[in-house]
């Protein structure tokens, strides 16, 4: 059985996910949720996301997707397509796509689940999460979180609607 492909993302009301290759907020609860959810599972990211992290995330197989055939990422597996990333994850039951915008866009049509932190604010940015195609996703759960630094947010899980 193929791995369950899960996108995990934090986005603002205007779908912004990043600015200057960084998160536009720092929400401790969201970071803890991300760690709890992805620990022990392969994580797939684009080169820019990898470079923004500055190091491999511990306790997870880090897989970096890049078009650059000579790219090296110490502590990570480097691949060149989403298909290669899924193959590199081996027999993992769940594989998490953690960004950025190009990788989310490439993976959205194949994803089985979306785990979103929806931040209740419109923020400036230069990277966006793609809109969910109508009729293809249903909200499975929503849990409001206590505001941090004046920002309210919810943890929301969406499941793909299967025909």
Nearest to 69 by CA among 89, 52, 84: 84
pLDDT bucket at 48, cuts 50 / 70 / 90: very high
Nearest to 45 by CA among 37, 30, 55, 36: 55
Sign of CA dihedral 150, 12, 161, 95: negative
Smallest CA-to-CA distance from 136 within 1, 2, 7, 45 is with 7
Tokens, residue 62: 């880090």
Residues 6 or more apart in contact with residue 159 via CB below 8 angstroms: 112, 113, 137, 138, 140
DSSP 56: P
Q: What is the pLDDT at residue 124?
A: 98
- The first and second tokens of residue 124, run together, are 């400036």
Does the pLDDT at position 3 exceed 90? no
Could you give the percent of the chain with pLDDT greater than 90?
Answer: 96
In contact, 117 and 13? CB cutoff 8 Å: no
pLDDT of 1 above 70: no
Predicted confidence at residue 9, as pLDDT, reads 99
3-class DSSP string for 122-134: CCCCCEECCCCCC
Q: Model pTM?
A: 0.96
CATH numbers and ranges of domains, the chain: 4-160 (3.40.430.10)
State pLDDT tens for residues 12-22.
Answer: 999 999 999 99
**Is 27 in contact with 149 (CB distance < 8 Å)?**
yes
* Cα dist from 155 to 6, 8, 30, 66, 160, whole Å: 14, 10, 8, 29, 17
In this predicted structure, the answer to whether residue 69 has a pLDDT above a threshold of 80 is yes
**pLDDT tens-place string over residues 100-157:** 999 999 999 999 999 999 999 999 999 999 999 999 999 999 999 999 999 999 999 9
């Amino acid at each position: 059985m193929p791995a369950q492909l899960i996108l995990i993302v934090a986005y603002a009301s205007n779908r912004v996910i990043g600015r200057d290759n960084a998160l536009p907020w720092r929400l401790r609860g969201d970071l803890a949720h991300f760690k709890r959810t992805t620990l022990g599972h392969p994580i797939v990211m684009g080169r820019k996301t990898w470079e923004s992290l500055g190091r491999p995330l511990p306790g997870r197989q880090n897989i970096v997707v890049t078009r650059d055939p000579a790219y090296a990422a110490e502590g990570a597996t480097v691949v060149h397509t989403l298909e290669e990333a899924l193959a590199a994850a081996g027999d993992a039951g769940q594989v998490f796509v953690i960004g950025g915008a190009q990788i989310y866009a490439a993976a959205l049509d194949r994803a089985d689940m979306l785990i979103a932190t929806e931040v209740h604010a419109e923020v400036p940015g230069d990277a966006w999460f793609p809109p969910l195609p109508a009729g293809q996703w249903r909200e499975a759960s929503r849990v409001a979180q206590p505001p941090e630094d004046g920002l309210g947010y919810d943890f929301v899980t969406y499941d793909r609607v299967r025909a």
